[in-house]
Amino acid sequence: MINQAMFRAAHYVAAEINQKGDSYSVTFTLCLKALYKKLPSMKADADRTGRSILGFISDASREMLVKARKAIREIQQAAPTAKAASWSSRRVVPVVVAEREGLNRGKSWFCSERDIQTKGACPSWEGEAICYVYA
């Protein structure tokens, strides 16, 4: 019964704080570990007060949820660093074009089929040297 309550509480918290792009299984695992870490103190409090341990599990999950939401809010309000802003707008171009136009570019490599499919490189560039350019 305790395990069932722990899993339900962890699923509830994970579902509430999981964001797009996050791994739900990792979020759930972290929530479950945090609850199990608090279990000995919750059992001691339940024995001391005579209150059901399920109430303590529910309280702990609410406390975790409040802390997680606060942390997420703080992260979202933090200003992006200059480096993060410059990396957000990059595109793939041939090295010849980047050098001719004097663009800020990264290391070059030869374009392959994988680059065409995953990085959006033009199919006519296959076999040519390409690189990322940053705005």
Residue 93's H or E segment, with its range, is strand 90-94
Residue 132's H or E segment, with its range, is strand 129-134
- Residue 69: what pLDDT? 82
Residue 13 burial (10 A CB sphere; 0-12, 13-18, 19+): buried
- Residue 120: what pLDDT? 81
Three-point CA angle 46, 50, 53, nearest 5°: 35
CB–CB of 38/13 below 8 Å? no
A 10 A CB-CB count for 115 gives 17
Full pLDDT tens readout for the chain, 135 residues: 788 888 988 888 888 888 777 788 888 888 888 888 888 888 888 888 888 888 888 888 888 888 888 877 777 776 555 454 445 688 889 999 888 888 888 899 999 988 888 888 888 888 889 999 987
- Residue 80: what pLDDT? 55
Overall residue count recorded for the chain in this entry: 135
- Residue 86: what pLDDT? 46
- Residue 110: what pLDDT? 92
